[in-house]
Amino acid sequence: MKILLVDDEAELTEPLYHVLCHEGYDVDIADDGEKGYQLAVENAYDLLILDWMLPGKPGLSICRELRSQGKNTPVLFLTAKDTLDDRVMGLDAGADDYLVKPFELRELMARVRALLRRSPALETVATSRLMVGDLELDQDNQVAYRQGRMFNLSDKEVKLLSYFMQHPQQLLTHEQIHQCLWEESDKPSSNVLAALIRLLRRKIEEEGPLIHTVYGKGYRFGD
């Protein structure tokens, strides 16, 4: 999943960048508002992490302008402003969450995970078809096609495959996949995910591998 981090404090962005990358996220960084705004406009992100006070263009203005353009990417504000009026202003501008500096990295990561679960990129459109390379997924009818061959899929296989196909060539961690497939209170053991991956591979990989294991981290999908 792809995250944009916009903050001009190097002592914050450097450790946060490394933590996010270690968790398997694809992260872009901008240290001023104008650059951050351009990146947000030109690229598709699953989450924006914005500092409130930025040189060039404040985070509040970035959020407002993106919302006025119809972009609904989740926004997490990082700020030293902690009054009720400031929080209301940020939420009214279209922010989804708000974290006051200084904060613990583990709290920020928990908020990142929560916002990514609500990201538009994870929403499955029931009538849509997904295509990556020679693989096509018909979510409505729970079937997939590859090089003229059709195979039926279970509910969980459809959800897993659609998640992979919406994030080609990205490292998806075990935790991210679990969050996509199961509710927090209903998470199975890691062996269940491995078994599901194995079943899906048997169906879609006769013509060549598509799901690649990144040992100790997760999986990457694509030719």
How many other CB atoms sit within 10 Å of the CB of residue 86? Answer: 17
Q: What is the pTM of this model?
A: 0.54
pLDDT at 73 (0 to 100): 87
Give the DSSP H/E element, type plus range, for residue 44.
Answer: none
Amino acid sitting at position 33: G
Provide the residue type at 80 as one letter.
Answer: A
Token pair for 69: 């353009």
- Span 2-121 CATH architecture: 3-Layer(aba) Sandwich (3.40)
Angle of CA points 114, 188, 127, to nearest 5°: 65
- Name the percent of the chain in helix, strand, coil, to the closest 5: 45, 25, 35
* Sign of the alpha-carbon dihedral angle for 76, 82, 84, 85: negative
The CATH code belonging to domain 125-221 is: 1.10.10.10
**How do the domains of the chain map onto residue ranges?**
2-121, 125-221
Give the dihedral of Cα atoms 51, 172, 159, 147; nearest 10 deg. 130
Tokens of 185: 């209170």
The pLDDT of residue 120 is 55
SS3 state of residue 26: strand
Predicted confidence pLDDT, tens digits, the chain (223 residues) = 899 999 988 888 888 898 898 888 899 999 999 999 999 998 889 999 999 888 889 888 999 898 888 888 899 988 877 666 767 777 777 888 888 888 888 888 888 888 887 665 544 444 468 888 889 998 888 899 998 889 999 989 999 999 999 898 899 999 899 888 887 766 676 688 999 999 999 999 998 999 999 998 999 998 7
Long-range contacts of 210-215 (CB under 8 A, 24+ apart): 210/133, 210/135, 210/164, 211/164, 214/171
Dist CA 65 CA 72 (whole Å): 11
What pLDDT does residue 164 have? 94
Distance of CA 68 to the CA centre of its chain: 22
**Peptide bond before residue 74 is cis, with ω within 30 degrees of 0:** no
C-alpha distances (whole Å) from 191 to each of 23, 187, 188 are 20, 11, 8
pLDDT at 119: 60
Where is 49: in which H helix or E strand?
Answer: strand 47-51
Sheet holding 47-51, edge to edge: 26-30, 2-6, 47-51, 75-79, 97-100
In angstroms, rounded to a whole number, what is the distance separating the alpha carbons of residues 223 and 212? 9
Residue type, 12: L
